Structure 1
């Protein structure tokens, strides 16, 4: 069910199946549709190609009712070479060697098979190969955009780690604190891919020292199926920043440890995704990805100049990507009708103010409607929602707070701290400055008139009473 819908979204299924004009992903692959977002620089000319996997030819050439097609979207993320594609291979029970699978840069989309046909997986497979220095910033920005897009699209985020490293802990923390993942509707699983562990006792030692000790996770169990065919699934549960996390264990294939853990982890993950019917949504993945990317492009690119040396302000011009009129490419809107995409390149320059964290996450997301966003925590009681926003170095007059029924909007300006130090040379600059705008979505309506705010030691505490409703009987 999911595959035809994704192909419609990609422009492959219209009134009939037209995959011949699309490039096929070469070699063994699990992917059905690949948005080859290999570089932001490609938008200057050809843009990003839409490629197809081998299953596209098997799709039925009729248009299903899109109102009846829904599913959950699962993003598989993790540091490079942690086994993300191995996990897809295992979940689909397909005998392809992970080492020989094609890893295509960009967003790779896979529709579920058989009983999992309401599940769509997104992989952000990329490259960790060396690159010439003047291309490094573009790669960082492209990777950040891919991660932001994948997290925005997903219902479930599955983080894949091997033997836990400090870099993995940092990665997990950045995912969990990401505004998209912090939403109550998002679910987070961590897959511990212990690909070097063979013995059951060795797996237990790793679980004790990493899963139970570091994450403070507890063993849990749920039953899949009914009657004599029911299966018990063991997993671990932890809580981090108010988010419930399920931990699933995998060991090296065809070993005693794998016999204990792998199959029940597969059953546990797939069952959890399948039964989450309340989290299903429309599967317009390609169009939604483009819509999200369009919200980021004005902040990614700096002001450039036209050929006559007049100023071209990309933020005012509202750069947008669209599907090309006749070619299987995603291009800038002013190149939609071009026959030769290599001609007349659109001049683009990455913004010099892009900010990143250690894992290339929050920089792009922090620039929604502004240069950056402050950190915040959100708490809830039976009576109210409380937001605490970190705004150190601000006077009360520097930030403006607007309360609406379903959101808190804070906007302000921080002066560059360097201005207070005459003749200074910057060696390190991690404190953001310039204009910011933060919008905090709330899960229920609040009583704006009764909302109160107080400032203390650089923290804004905003207490929002929940809106109460009364019932009136009319006779």
Structure 2
């Protein structure tokens, strides 16, 4: 691991051990500086080592995240966990994301191959609101029985790589998260900040999990508006990937987890209302329900007559659906997730430079369009927000850290291959959708060159926007009163490796107050013309000729 990361991690480890031993009150402060899974790991290792003499391990055994004695006693549904609960850790003091292997690194490695060959797996994301039983559904699919009373905390992105129960079952990787809208400690003074940080954390983890997956199991207890918004978001994501409606039925499966219902009669009554009335679904002879857009599957309390009736059959059907899908398979699940983390960080992170006048936020500039016949002054009408920021280029890798005296086995981290600049920050342009997902308003990062001019004596207006690498499908024109809103997105070409890249990419939004360009004419927005060729967006807005234009 890189030197810049090692020193701080070692200092924090010492602080955590001191805090656990009660010898230093300041040690507790170090605990707050590290991600929760790393703290749990170190405290567990310390408590274990304090109960027995410290032994020195050879480095050839440093292939597991915990001591081997601890690992084989631990019960868990997960093969590895990427702790992304604090997105800023990658550019903070630690400059890394911890990765733990609860069953041991060797156990994880053994599941990546079969008969000496890399094993391909379907990427399945078990999604849903907080506390609807996602981990329970994951255990059923993974055929892992940890007992009804066993509770396991889900941190970051937790992944299970189950061994198929039968030879005809598919190889799958099950991705689990804590879910959307997880609660925070409530305090009048700190709630606003804590809730915002939790939104960022939940959204960051959700984006990685969704982008890493091809198949989604949406777990619902009893249907809420949040569930419907989440379902709408998932459906749109698949549609945006050009997946047709028939295939979406195979990739977006709704699991109605009625864990609070125990009798078949209770389940059937609830299903008849939620599935039959709200979704308009009909029960199929195979046992699942079918609505216009989705397939629905039922689970009940596992320790009940309803659970015995539904659960095994539902798991079998879900595995059959996954196997029959046309989803792509992945050979290296951890590397695949790391790649998605890298892509998202390139969007979320930016270098921030102070402006000459000391304002670190935005510099207001004006756009003047000068032509022979019309010289509109847009100073008071249109101000584009420009930030002196630059997107961050980074590559991630998996590294291990061995500290024999403190931690017998290796610690694993995802960290940058090269140190990040000291001025890297999380973008302040993050916005949240109603379903809890996040997007970035790039309007302050990429401003295209614009030319607005009168084209003839009638007064028709031509708007030229230079946007090479823009996607034609991303360009949208919206009329708001007498203002034209132009939106688009400039994509970065995928390269194997960037040596130098100063190109501005991202989304832009341009508001053109057309009526204010010439208040003596009325413009006909309904007859506007649009074309996109050779990287130039061309929009013609004609004036009204001999009639009144209704907008």
Q: TM-score range by the shorter chain?
A: 0.5 to 0.7
User: Does the CA contact (< 8 Å) of 1:399 and 1:413 recur in 2?
Assistant: yes
Secondary structure of 1:349's counterpart equals: strand
CA distance in 2, matches of 1:102, 1:368: 42
Secondary structure of 2:222's counterpart equals: coil
Q: CA deviation at 1:58?
A: 4.2
**What's the CA shift string for 1:265-313, capped at 9, x where partnerless?**
111112222344x43422322222222222222432354359xx99997
CA distance in 1, matches of 2:208, 2:241: 15
**Structure 1 290/54 Cα, relative in aligned 2: closer, same or farther at 3 Å?**
closer
CA distance in 2, matches of 1:368, 1:147: 24
Residues 412-431 of structure 1 correspond to what in structure 2 (within 5 A)? 413-415=509-511
Partner in structure 2 of residue 324 of structure 1: 399
User: Does the CA contact (< 8 Å) of 1:176 and 1:182 recur in 2?
Assistant: no
**Structure 1 400/90 Cα, relative in aligned 2: closer, same or farther at 3 Å?**
closer
The alignment status of 1:42 with 2:89, answered yes or no, reads yes
User: Does the CA contact (< 8 Å) of 1:34 and 1:109 recur in 2?
Assistant: yes
Partner in structure 2 of residue 19 of structure 1: 63
Give the TM-score normalised by the residue count of structure 2: 0.56
Residues 3-402 of structure 1 correspond to what in structure 2 (within 5 A)? 18-20=62-64, 27-43=74-90, 44-46=92-94, 47-54=96-103, 56-58=105-107, 64=113, 69-97=119-147, 100-114=150-164, 115=166, 116=169, 118-125=171-178, 127-130=182-185, 132=190, 133-178=192-237, 183-184=242-243, 187-221=251-285, 233-240=286-293, 245-276=294-325, 278-305=326-353, 315-324=390-399, 326=401, 328-335=412-419, 346-364=422-440, 391-393=477-479, 398=486
User: Does the CA contact (< 8 Å) of 2:142 and 2:160 recur in 1?
Assistant: no
CA distance in 2, matches of 1:357, 1:388: 18
**Structure 1 108/414 Cα, relative in aligned 2: closer, same or farther at 3 Å?**
same
Q: CA deviation at 1:137?
A: 2.8
Q: CA deviation at 1:211?
A: 0.9
**Structure 1 389/93 Cα, relative in aligned 2: closer, same or farther at 3 Å?**
same
**Structure 1 28/106 Cα, relative in aligned 2: closer, same or farther at 3 Å?**
same
Give the aligned length.
Answer: 365
Q: CA deviation at 1:251?
A: 1.2
Over aligned residues, Cα RMSD in angstroms? 4.4
CA distance in 2, matches of 1:30, 1:206: 30
**Structure 1 389/200 Cα, relative in aligned 2: closer, same or farther at 3 Å?**
farther
CA distance in 2, matches of 1:387, 1:62: 41
Q: CA deviation at 1:392?
A: 1.8
Partner in structure 2 of residue 3 of structure 1: none
| Higher Rg of the two aligned structures | 2
CA distance in 1, matches of 2:443, 2:146: 41
User: Does the CA contact (< 8 Å) of 1:235 and 1:249 recur in 2?
Assistant: yes
User: Does the CA contact (< 8 Å) of 1:175 and 1:181 recur in 2?
Assistant: no
**What's the CA shift string for 1:405-464, capped at 9, x where partnerless?**
xxxx997533399xx9xxxxxxxxxxxxxxxxxxxxxxxxxxx99xxx9999xxxxxxxx
Q: CA deviation at 1:93?
A: 3.3
CA distance in 1, matches of 2:295, 2:173: 19
- Structure 2: stretches of 5+ with no match in the other structure: 1-59, 361-386, 402-410, 448-471, 491-504, 517-532, 542-551
CA distance in 2, matches of 1:62, 1:89: 17
User: Does the CA contact (< 8 Å) of 2:127 and 2:177 recur in 1?
Assistant: yes
Secondary structure of 1:121's counterpart equals: strand
- Structure 1: stretches of 5+ with no match in the other structure: 1-15, 222-232, 337-344, 373-385, 403-408, 421-447, 457-475
